[in-house]
Amino acid sequence: MNTYTPPLRDMKFALFDVLQAERLYQRLGVEAAQRDVLDAVLEEAARFTAQVLAPLNAAGDEHGCGFDKSTGAVTSPPGFKEAYAQFVEGGWSGLTAPESMGGQGLPESVGGVLKEMIDAANLAWGNYPLLSHGATEALKQHGEDWQKDAFLKPIVEGRWTGTMCLTEPHCGSDLGLLKTRAEPSADGSFAISGTKIFITAGEHDFTDNIVHLVLARLPDAPAGTKGISLFIVPKMKVGKDGVMGGRNALACGSIEHKMGIHGSATCVMNFDGAQGWLIGQPNKGLNAMFTMMNSARLAVGIQGLGLIDRAYQNALRYARERLQMRALSGTKFPDKPADPIIVHPDVRRMLLTCKALGEGSRLLAYHAGTLLDMIEHSADAEERKAADELLGFLTPISKACLTEWAVECTYHALQVFGGHGYIREWGMEQLARDARITTIYEGTTGIQALDLLGRKILQLQGAGLRRFLGMIVDFCNAELKKEALSEFIAPLAQYTQDWQQLTLELGQKGAANPDEVGAAAYDYLFYSGYIALAYWWARAVATAEAGDHPAAFKAAKRETARFYFQRILPRIGTHAAAIRAGAGSLLGLAADDFDS
């Protein structure tokens, strides 16, 4: 059976030891975040996700969601609705929302740990609260007071959920093409008409109301992305007094049948003059939606992290139990008919790849969470600006790398099971299928790469990169004299210099020919992601060695870091070669000649 046990020790090591979050929360004055409270919250989150959500994962995949064509109603898989009721009762829906809005005011970085547990336990179920969190962020930052009272509080309390309605049949990555219309009404609201597709949690049976955040065009809007506005369009109408009225003119037209996350409803949503309310400024909807998308991008990165860990845990257990052949260097378990497959170097390669990418990704993702905390709570404008620039730079890396590594690692973990990984019984093929969507929704890997190189590096002149390089240089300088760390610090310092050089070269090439940016973006993103992970692995070893941890824990960190530096980090060489090869070999073949 495929099970999940939240890795609380490594989660706390990442958050409290490496990232020093307890000290950060005190400095930022987040009073609710006392260590004893946080420990209790994480223990309870571990219990809820392992005991309530994880056992529903396979059944959710098997049953999927139901759709009633005559009513447009969507039913979630068995147990999902009841688990959501427990989630709400436990106060989890408002964990990180401000107390003034009915939440518990805990840091976003703690919310990230909860999220990892939810996604590892049951990715499909986790999509319902994920979209609510994004809607909370958009309403919190851009909503008028009455909108916050009417819509935000019920979402924070978990009574309603949120969605994000961007995609239309003819536009996904290119939102400038969207056609959904918004006509002003006499009462100050707007009539929204159009069709949105692929809407996660667009319809379900968890709650009485669903708050759709919809991108649409006003009648006089300019073409392209400059003419998009954002609207709140509830399933059940809601007055300015917050009172819920009758059914709004919108409905789910169908649900998609898809490769994975069967328990997550993916809906076609038809809006037929539905009452909506403008949120933020007219024609500035994309800015407001970006608040939601950035939150969702980090959240999808964490989905990747959760999947890596679950896949790894199950593969590790299997590799210790499955007996096949003897170790090449001689029998290791003479009392058994064969050695467990964990003795074989190739099985270890797969397990260690999952462990190295998973534990490193945890630091990358939790670090992003602490940056969100600084942006939200710091009284120092310079600190907020620095955190914002750094987070802008790390968001596409976190989203794309963690999800692509999840695809890689769920395949490795499946392979550890051999044929038993390919059949359904062990749940490994579900993890591999579920992982696949994470590299697509919330902006494909290709779009994240363009965001990183085109926007965050070239357009914004690498402000976030400079801050990240500064962190690495400070760390290397501080640890330089520690002999025990030299195997990590020396290459890290060298790769950091190479990264700067490569970025400079690309800046020059990209200015002369924009196709060079598009041609290099994917490789540049992974080049950056692998160096970022090298930094976090070096810091993990330094922190483990300096702390009061069991010898086995310290040894595991060092050996895994060694594996990462020696066998994964060299991938950057291939990426650098591809970047330096330039656009020529990508663009030489005429579109008509691809099938010649």
Ligand X SMILES: Cc1cc2nc3c(=O)[nH]c(=O)nc-3n(C[C@H](O)[C@H](O)[C@H](O)COP(=O)(O)OP(=O)(O)OC[C@H]3O[C@@H](n4cnc5c(N)ncnc54)[C@H](O)[C@@H]3O)c2cc1C
Among 76, 93, 167, 275, binds ligand X (CB under 6 A): 167
Among 273, 446, 507, 582, binds ligand X (CB under 6 A): 446
Query: Which member of 116, 203, 429, 442 is catalytic?
Result: 442
Asked whether position 299 contacts ligand X by CB under 6 A, the answer is no
CA distance 488 to 490: 6
Beta strands in 34-112 (DSSP E): 66-68, 73-75
Residue 545 catalytic? no
Asked whether position 198 contacts ligand X by CB under 6 A, the answer is yes
Asked whether position 303 contacts ligand X by CB under 6 A, the answer is no
Q: Which of residues 230-289 bind ligand X (CB under 6 A)?
A: 258, 266
Asked whether position 436 contacts ligand X by CB under 6 A, the answer is no
For the chain, the C-alpha Rg in angstroms (whole number) is 24
The tokens for 426 are: 């062990």
CA distance 489 to 480: 7
Minimum distance from CB of 103 to ligand X (Å)? 23
Indicate the residue among 127 and 496 with the shorter CB distance to ligand X: 127
The tokens for 159 are: 């009574």
Among 14, 447, 465, 579, binds ligand X (CB under 6 A): 447
Question: Within 13 Å, how many C-alpha atoms sit on residue 160's CB side?
Answer: 23
Asked whether position 459 contacts ligand X by CB under 6 A, the answer is no
**Do 207 and 159 touch, CB atoms closer than 8 A?**
yes
Q: Which of residues 497-526 bind ligand X (CB under 6 A)?
A: none
CA distance 67 to 306: 29
CA distance 479 to 35: 28
Considering only 40-48, 160-168, 556-564, 588-596, which stretch makes contact with ligand X by CB under 6 A?
Answer: 160-168
CA distance 538 to 534: 6
The tokens for 126 are: 């986790």
Among 161, 200, 353, 560, binds ligand X (CB under 6 A): 200
Asked whether position 185 contacts ligand X by CB under 6 A, the answer is no
Indicate the residue among 168 and 339 with the shorter CB distance to ligand X: 168
CA distance 237 to 242: 9
Asked whether position 199 contacts ligand X by CB under 6 A, the answer is yes
Residue 341 CA, distance from chain mean position = 32
Asked whether position 378 contacts ligand X by CB under 6 A, the answer is no
Asked whether position 164 contacts ligand X by CB under 6 A, the answer is yes
Asked whether position 440 contacts ligand X by CB under 6 A, the answer is yes
**Do 393 and 452 touch, CB atoms closer than 8 A?**
yes
Asked whether position 458 contacts ligand X by CB under 6 A, the answer is no
The tokens for 590 are: 């005429």
CA distance 380 to 457: 25
The tokens for 419 are: 């044929």
Indicate the residue among 261 and 386 with the shorter CB distance to ligand X: 261
Minimum distance from CB of 325 to ligand X (Å)? 41
Minimum distance from CB of 171 to ligand X (Å)? 6
Q: What amino acid positions are annotated as catalytic residues?
A: 442
Residues contributing to the site for ligand X (CB under 6 A): 164-167, 172-173, 198-200, 258, 266, 437, 440-444, 446-447, 450
